């Protein structure tokens, strides 16, 4: 290939990628639209709407920002598209809801970018956001107490909202801003208190998975700020001791993890979800049985927590592993974007957001396949559910914001 | 600022850990995918715990041994054949772990790493399995066992194909007896395929191994003579013989199965040489037949005194022999020293009618003997029949073989053995028969050998 031809292709790289992604989406959604004898018009409109949304975003983003690197959004749209097809393969209503979730997610992404354009101004939001986050968790905790179970979502007019998902965005925002702006011990202490309150509240909600995600993100932020391995080791040791105390005083916590690595012994009890995920994932083979042809979809929480199994069974293990690689690439992108960032805030926020996403993917995928204990967290961008989708897109804004120019005198 | 950007690289550690997890996950899918997809909870494959739409299992002539009809597993129409092939075919519920239904459930369900269970969904059934066994020969063996516990195995020692494999007690899979769990005497080890998973005291059939060791280690063995007074006194104990044989040569000692002579030979050989021969001929080795594990034969005289060694030399002591192994040893002797591995699966045919696996391509030599030793043993085993058992017991079969009557103690009647083969070039078959708690090898096992071999001589002859 000649030099000029090579240059031509690299110039049109994102356009080619968009065509490729769109082709994939058309093919996968067509399988659903034309599955029955009668064309499913609702699904047709949902997918057409989704693809229109996608193209509009890229066209306007290109015109307004003149940027030519869209890897992040490309991955996010690809994963969101898969999510809508899976939702649509269950019923039309889910597909409509999931499209709305993607639209809201995109709005949250753009809104947060707008806020993040100016770090100085965004700074003022940190205290109200911190209080709003704690308030949300307290509200959730209050409701959960009434129902007396592991409840981490609130029903609002047909849409279920997971407050912990929204708090994730605030957690990174508050962490990155606080530590960026003020290096005093006082501000650090405040953030540590905020983190302990968040993790503690999640713990009392028995949402151990999300509590772990918050703790992991806290470690990343603390390391990004201090660069001190000893501090990190100290924090982890403290957390480990705390966890041991909890297990000692509250044995039911340990009981929840006793099936870990023994799922086949409890195949029809506590190991039900994991064993069925493995059985049906393997049934799909590398190439999959075809969209809608699987049996895992009949299992409780299959399109939310167990969605990785649905992808393996129906879309094939090859695609499922490609998705995992895409999440890893997202993190690699964040590292490099973070190095070019014009402000420490962007740098910390990008790495923290990518780390949070990747950690959550690991907890979800390795949890349902029994490589890690099952904690019941969602798969970002793909699990069915509005708040999870909105949060995933909002976290993406932290990575994208590394492109902003700032005139801040950085420390 | 510079510091912070450099710290971002720490995220690479997380990415690497994540990718390591991804690789481990993929590897577990590759390794365990078949087992997972074949799990009884998989509703693509099973309905109410039964393989609903698995492939067909055929015998060598194309007779259906098991197939799926409208989501139900049905078996051969003949009750005798169902009983005779129970352990070969296995049950859809998986009690018989060495049966084709269990050992090849991935194949029957049509699983492959590439396509998962797609073939099953598309064609409504998995891969078909064509076996090497002859259902009629199995029925003959089952009838010849006549309600006694034991096993019969026959294979072609030139190709490795197993033609007959029967284990008793058995039952009719279409009418599973209600008392199968409670009548422990009648159904003792009913889910066990004695041919593959059974181990028995070999008794005098072990003299073949002692003889092999003598041929290789005692140069003048054929010119030696042994005195049998009905027992052999050693410094550590007495070995009893079945009768007073007087003065016998090596060949006569084997023909008449003289314990005194063979105990003397074993003691003359010593622990190490006898062990070396037994191990070389397949004792203490875990064999596999396709997906199926074979129970290993065990021989250990490390701590044996001279009386123990004498008992070991005539197949008593702690020695245990597996019928599949013994059959392969007969194959090695018959086939000039090369014991071809017996196999059961002739071919696997996918729903799209392509042959995805051929048993003959996987046949290998399981036991290798010096060809000179093999030929001498063959002559000795032929001499057993000609000079002692009588060809009249096996008309026109040109049988070679050795009987065994293994004492098992505890006041129980001995286990009867016959191991041997036909030396007719058009009938290259080796056979093993074990009848539990019976009279003797010659009285109990030899007639079964004749019936099964006669049946095969008329139905199965190589051109």
* pLDDT tens digits, one per residue of B103-139: 998 888 888 899 898 888 888 788 999 999 999 999 9
Residue of A nearest to B26 (CA): A321
Size of the A and B interface in Cβ pairs below 8 Å = 137
**Is the CB of B15 less than 8 angstroms away from the CB of A358?**
yes
Place of tokens 């031809």: A5
pLDDT score for A229: 81
User: How many CB atoms within 10 Å of residue B443?
Assistant: 13
**Is the CB of B5 less than 8 angstroms away from the CB of A359?**
no
pLDDT score for A233: 87
Which residues in chain B touch residue A288, judged by CB atoms under 8 angstroms apart? 116, 118
Which residues in chain A touch residue B350, judged by CB atoms under 8 angstroms apart? none
Contact (Cβ atoms closer than 8 angstroms) between residue A218 and residue A199: yes
Of the given ranges (A307-321, A374-388, A395-409), which has the lowest mean pLDDT? Answer: A395-409
pLDDT class for A126, splitting at 50, 70, 90?
A: confident
User: How far apart are the C-alpha atoms of A153 and A140, rounded to whole Å?
Assistant: 7
Report, as an integer, the average pLDDT of B218-240: 91
pLDDT score for A154: 67
Q: Which of the 8 DSSP states describes residue A149?
A: S
**Is the CB of B37 less than 8 angstroms away from the CB of A358?**
no
pLDDT score for A408: 47
DSSP string for B130-180: EES--HHHHHHHHHHHTT-SEEEEEEETTT-BEEEEEEES---GGG--TTT
Q: What is the mean pLDDT of chain B?
A: 92
Place of tokens 């967290």: A377
**Is the CB of A361 less than 8 angstroms away from the CB of B116?**
no
pLDDT score for B84: 96
pLDDT score for A158: 62
- H or E element in which residue B17 lies: helix B10-37
The shortest CB-CB distance from B8 to any of A280, A285, A339 is to A339
Q: Which CATH superfamily is domain B196-344+364-459 in?
A: DD-peptidase/beta-lactamase superfamily (3.40.710.10)
Q: In what order do the strands lie in the sheet with B415-422?
A: B162-168, B150-156, B429-435, B415-422, B399-406
Model pLDDT for residues B301-328, shown as the tens digit of each residue = 999 999 999 999 999 999 999 999 999 9
The shortest CB-CB distance from B115 to any of A224, A285, A324 is to A285
pLDDT score for A1: 45
Share of chain A above pLDDT 70, in %: 89
Residue of A nearest to B29 (CA): A282
pLDDT class for B93, splitting at 50, 70, 90?
A: confident
Contact (Cβ atoms closer than 8 angstroms) between residue A402 and residue A347: yes
Share of chain B above pLDDT 70, in %: 97
Is A208 a residue whose pLDDT tops 50?
A: yes
pLDDT class for A162, splitting at 50, 70, 90?
A: confident
The shortest CB-CB distance from A285 to any of B18, B19, B112 is to B112
| Pairing of β B50-51 and β B415-422 | unpaired
Place of tokens 């090898």: B441
Nearest to A283 by CA among A272, A296, A271: A296
Locate all alpha helices (DSSP H) within A12-70, ordered by sequence.
13-33, 41-65
What residues of chain A, 77 to 96, have a C-beta less than 8 Å from chain B?
none
**A297 lies within 8 A of chain B by CB:** no
Residue of A nearest to B14 (CA): A355
Is B454 a residue whose pLDDT tops 90?
A: yes
Chain B residues with CB within 8 Å of chain A CB: 1, 3-5, 7-12, 14-15, 17-19, 21-22, 24-26, 28-29, 32-34, 36-37, 39, 41-45, 111-118, 121
pLDDT class for B5, splitting at 50, 70, 90?
A: low
**Residue A356 three-state SS:** helix
**Residue A398 three-state SS:** helix
Highest mean pLDDT among A10-14, A236-240, B376-380: B376-380
Contact (Cβ atoms closer than 8 angstroms) between residue B144 and residue B61: no
**Is the CB of A411 less than 8 angstroms away from the CB of B1?**
yes
**Is the CB of B14 less than 8 angstroms away from the CB of A288?**
no
Shortest Cα distance from B27 to chain A (angstroms)? 12
pLDDT class for A390, splitting at 50, 70, 90?
A: very high
- H or E element in which residue A319 lies: helix A317-340
User: How far apart are the C-alpha atoms of B167 and B148, rounded to whole Å?
Assistant: 10
The shortest CB-CB distance from B8 to any of A288, A289, A335 is to A335
**A324 lies within 8 A of chain B by CB:** yes
Shortest Cα distance from B31 to chain A (angstroms)? 10
**Is the CB of B1 less than 8 angstroms away from the CB of A223?**
no
| Pairing of β B231-234 and β B225-228 | unpaired
List Cα–Cα distances, B67 to A198, B92, B101, B107, B118, in angstroms.
59, 10, 11, 14, 19
Which residues in chain A touch residue B25, judged by CB atoms under 8 angstroms apart? 365-366, 369, 371
Q: What are phi and psi of B280, to 5 degrees?
A: -65, -30
Of the given ranges (A157-166, A197-206, A293-302), which has the lowest mean pLDDT? Answer: A157-166
Question: How far from the centroid of its chain's Cα atoms is residue B8's Cα?
Answer: 62
Report, as an integer, the average pLDDT of B399-406: 95
- pTM score of the predicted model: 0.78
**Residue B238 three-state SS:** strand
pLDDT score for A411: 39
Shortest Cα distance from B43 to chain A (angstroms)? 7
Crossing angle of helices A386-400 and A344-368, rounded to 10°: 140
User: How far apart are the C-alpha atoms of B53 and B45, rounded to whole Å?
Assistant: 7
List Cα–Cα distances, B203 to B206, B248, B318, B379, B449, in angstroms.
6, 20, 11, 21, 18
User: How far apart are the C-alpha atoms of B318 and B327, rounded to whole Å?
Assistant: 20
**Is the CB of A281 less than 8 angstroms away from the CB of B36?**
yes
**Is the CB of A317 less than 8 angstroms away from the CB of B34?**
no
Q: Which of the 8 DSSP states describes residue A124?
A: G
Of the given ranges (B20-24, B88-92, B145-149, B409-413), which has the lowest mean pLDDT? Answer: B409-413
pLDDT class for B463, splitting at 50, 70, 90?
A: very low
Of the given ranges (A188-202, A287-301, B17-31), which has the lowest mean pLDDT? Answer: A188-202
- H or E element in which residue B368 lies: strand B365-368
**Is the CB of A285 less than 8 angstroms away from the CB of B39?**
no
Shortest Cα distance from A397 to chain B (angstroms)? 17
Q: Can you say whether the dihedral through the CA atoms of B69, B70, B72, B78 is positive or negative? A: negative
The shortest CB-CB distance from A275 to any of B29, B41, B117 is to B41
Report, as an integer, the average pLDDT of A262-289: 92
pLDDT class for B206, splitting at 50, 70, 90?
A: very high
pLDDT score for A3: 60
Residues in CB range of B237: below 8 A, 6 or more apart: B305, B307, B308
List Cα–Cα distances, A219 to A115, A198, A239, B13, in angstroms.
25, 14, 11, 13
Is A143 a residue whose pLDDT tops 80?
A: no
Residues in CB range of B171: below 8 A, 6 or more apart: B83, B86, B177, B180, B187, B190
Report, as an integer, the average pLDDT of B43-67: 86
Residue of B nearest to A283 (CA): B116
Best B1, B2, B6, B8 member to test A by mutation, with max A CBs in 10 Å, is B8
Choose between A2 and B200: higher pLDDT.
B200
Report, as an integer, the average pLDDT of B177-193: 91
Of the given ranges (A199-213, A312-326, B296-310), which has the lowest mean pLDDT? Answer: A199-213
**Is the CB of A282 less than 8 angstroms away from the CB of B36?**
yes
User: How far apart are the C-alpha atoms of A375 and A353, rounded to whole Å?
Assistant: 20
Preceding peptide of B169 cis, ω within 30°: yes
**Is the CB of B114 less than 8 angstroms away from the CB of A281?**
no
Is A77 a residue whose pLDDT tops 70?
A: yes
Contact (Cβ atoms closer than 8 angstroms) between residue A218 and residue A353: no
Token pair, residue A400, equals 């994208």
| Pairing of β B57-58 and β B128-131 | parallel
**Is the CB of A317 less than 8 angstroms away from the CB of B37?**
no
**Is the CB of B21 less than 8 angstroms away from the CB of A410?**
no
List the domain boundaries for chain B.
Answer: 196-344+364-459
**A286 lies within 8 A of chain B by CB:** yes
Shortest Cα distance from B116 to chain A (angstroms)? 4
User: How far apart are the C-alpha atoms of A375 and A211, rounded to whole Å?
Assistant: 10
Model pLDDT for residues B423-452, shown as the tens digit of each residue = 999 999 999 999 999 999 999 999 999 999
pLDDT score for A365: 97
Question: How far from the centroid of its chain's Cα atoms is residue B307's Cα?
Answer: 30
Place of tokens 């929204």: A166
User: How far apart are the C-alpha atoms of A45 and A49, rounded to whole Å?
Assistant: 6
Residues in CB range of A376: below 8 A, 6 or more apart: A207, A209, A301, A305, A367
Which residues in chain A touch residue B22, judged by CB atoms under 8 angstroms apart? 321, 324-325, 328
Is A406 a residue whose pLDDT tops 70?
A: no
Q: Which of the 8 DSSP states describes residue A300?
A: T
Residues A256-292 as b/e (b if ≥16 CB within 10 A, e otherwise) read beebbeebbeebeebbbbbbbbbbbbbbbbbbbbbbb
Share of chain B above pLDDT 90, in %: 75
pLDDT score for A410: 43
Locate all alpha helices (DSSP H) within A250-316, ordered by sequence.
251-255, 272-284, 307-310
Q: Which of the 8 DSSP states describes residue B293?
A: E
The residue count for chain A? 411
Q: What are phi and psi of B150, to 5 degrees?
A: 160, -160
Best A283, A322, A326, A357 member to test B by mutation, with max B CBs in 10 Å, is A283
Radius of gyration of chain B (CA): 26
**A220 lies within 8 A of chain B by CB:** yes
Which residues in chain A touch residue B45, judged by CB atoms under 8 angstroms apart? 283
**Is the CB of B15 less than 8 angstroms away from the CB of A275?**
no
List Cα–Cα distances, A229 to A233, A236, B3, B202, in angstroms.
6, 11, 14, 68
User: How far apart are the C-alpha atoms of A88 and A94, rounded to whole Å?
Assistant: 6
**Is the CB of B9 less than 8 angstroms away from the CB of A335?**
yes
- H or E element in which residue B128 lies: strand B128-131
Nearest to B441 by CA among B208, B174, B175, B160: B208
Burial (CB count <10 Å: 0-12, 13-18, 19+), residue A409: exposed
Nearest to A98 by CA among A114, A125, A120, A79: A79
């Amino acid at each position: 290939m000649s030099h000029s031809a090579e240059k031509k292709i690299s110039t049109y790289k994102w356009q080619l990628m968009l065509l490729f992604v769109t082709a994939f989406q058309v093919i996968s959604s067509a399988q659903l639209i034309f599955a029955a004898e009668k064309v499913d018009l609702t699904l047709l409109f949902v997918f057409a709407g989704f693809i229109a949304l996608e193209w509009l975003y890229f066209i306007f983003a290109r015109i307004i920002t003149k940027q030519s690197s869209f890897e992040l959004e490309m991955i996010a749209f690809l994963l969101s598209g898969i999510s809508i097809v899976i939702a649509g393969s269950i019923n039309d209503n889910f597909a409509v809801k999931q499209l709305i979730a993607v639209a809201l997610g995109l709005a949250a992404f753009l809104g947060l970018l707008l806020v993040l354009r100016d770090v100085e101004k965004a700074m003022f939001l940190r205290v109200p956001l911190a209080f709003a986050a704690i308030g949300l968790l307290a509200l959730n905790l209050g409701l959960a107490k009434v129902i007396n179970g592991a409840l981490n979502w609130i029903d609002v007019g047909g849409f279920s909202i997971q407050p912990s998902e929204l708090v994730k965005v605030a957690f990174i925002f508050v962490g990155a801003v606080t530590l960026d702006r003020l290096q005093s011990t006082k501000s650090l202490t405040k953030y540590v208190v905020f983190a302990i309150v968040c993790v503690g509240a999640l713990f009392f909600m028995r949402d151990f998975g999300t509590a772990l995600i918050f703790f992991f993100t806290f470690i990343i932020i603390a390391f990004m700020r201090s660069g001190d391995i000893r501090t990190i080791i100290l924090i982890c040791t403290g957390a480990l001791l705390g966890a041991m105390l909890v297990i000692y005083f509250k044995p039911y916590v340990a009981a929840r993890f006793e099936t870990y690595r023994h799922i086949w012994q409890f195949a029809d009890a506590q190991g039900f979800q994991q064993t069925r995920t493995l059985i049906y994932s393997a049934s799909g083979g590398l190439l999959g049985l075809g969209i809608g042809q699987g049996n895992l979809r009949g299992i409780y929480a299959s399109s939310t927590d167990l969605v990785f199994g649905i992808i393996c069974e129906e879309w094939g293990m090859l695609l499922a592993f490609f998705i995992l690689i895409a999440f890893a690439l997202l993190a690699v992108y964040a590292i490099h974007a973070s190095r070019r960032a014009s402000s420490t805030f962007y740098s910390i926020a990008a790495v923290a957001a990518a780390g949070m996403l990747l950690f959550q993917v690991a907890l979800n995928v390795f949890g349902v396949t029994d490589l890690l204990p099952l904690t019941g967290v969602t798969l970002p961008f793909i699990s069915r559910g509005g708040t999870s989708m909105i949060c995933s897109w909002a976290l993406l804004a932290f990575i994208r914001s590394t492109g902003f120019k700032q005139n801040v005198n950085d420390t | 600022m510079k510091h912070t950007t450099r710290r971002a690289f720490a995220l690479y550690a997380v990415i690497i850990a994540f990718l390591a997890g991804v690789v481990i996950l993929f590897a577990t899918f590759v390794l365990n995918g078949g087992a997972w997809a074949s799990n009884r909870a998989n509703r693509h494959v099973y309905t109410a715990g039964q393989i609903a739409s698995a492939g067909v299992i055929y015998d060598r002539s194309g007779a259906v041994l098991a197939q799926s009809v409208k989501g139900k597993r049905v078996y051969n129409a003949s009750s005798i054949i169902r009983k005779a092939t129970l352990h070969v075919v296995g049950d859809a519920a998986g009690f018989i772990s060495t049966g084709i239904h269990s050992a090849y459930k991935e194949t029957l369900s049509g699983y492959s790493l590439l396509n998962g269970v797609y073939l099953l969904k598309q064609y409504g059934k998995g891969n078909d399995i064509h076996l090497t066994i002859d259902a009629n020969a199995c029925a003959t063996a089952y009838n010849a066992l006549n309600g006694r516990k034991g096993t019969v195995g026959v294979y072609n020692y030139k190709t490795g194909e197993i033609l007959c494999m029967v284990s008793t007690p058995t039952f009719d899979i279409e009418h599973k007896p209600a008392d199968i769990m409670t009548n422990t005497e009648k159904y003792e080890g009913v889910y066990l395929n004695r041919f593959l998973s059974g181990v028995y005291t070999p008794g005098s059939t072990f003299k073949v191994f002692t003889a092999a060791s003598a041929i290789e280690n005692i140069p003048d063995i054929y010119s030696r003579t042994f005195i049998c007074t009905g027992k052999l006194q050693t410094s550590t104990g007495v070995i009893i013989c079945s009768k007073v044989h007087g003065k016998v040569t090596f060949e006569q000692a084997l023909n008449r199965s003289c314990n005194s002579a063979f105990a003397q030979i074993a003691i003359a050989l010593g622990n190490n040489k006898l062990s070396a021969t037994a191990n070389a001929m397949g004792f203490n080795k875990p064999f596999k037949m396709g997906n199926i594990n074979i129970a290993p034969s065990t021989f250990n005289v490390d701590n044996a005194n001279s009386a123990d060694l004498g008992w070991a030399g005539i197949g008593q002591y702690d020695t245990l022999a597996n019928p599949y192994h013994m059959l392969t040893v007969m194959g090695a002797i018959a086939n000039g020293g090369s014991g071809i591995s017996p196999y059961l699966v002739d071919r696997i045919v996918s729903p799209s009618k392509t042959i995805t696996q051929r048993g003959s391509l996987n046949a290998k030599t399981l036991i290798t003997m010096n060809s000179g030793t093999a030929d001498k043993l063959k002559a000795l085993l032929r001499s057993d029949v000609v000079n002692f058992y009588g060809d009249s017991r096996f008309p026109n079969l040109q049988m070679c073989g050795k009987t065994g009557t293994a004492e098992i103690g505890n006041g129980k009647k001995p286990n009867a053995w016959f191991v041997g083969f036909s030396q007719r070039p058009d009938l290259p078959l080796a056979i093993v028969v074990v009848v539990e708690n019976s009279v003797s090898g010659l009285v109990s096992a030899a007639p079964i050998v004749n019936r099964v071999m006669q049946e095969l001589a008329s139905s199965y002859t190589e051109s």
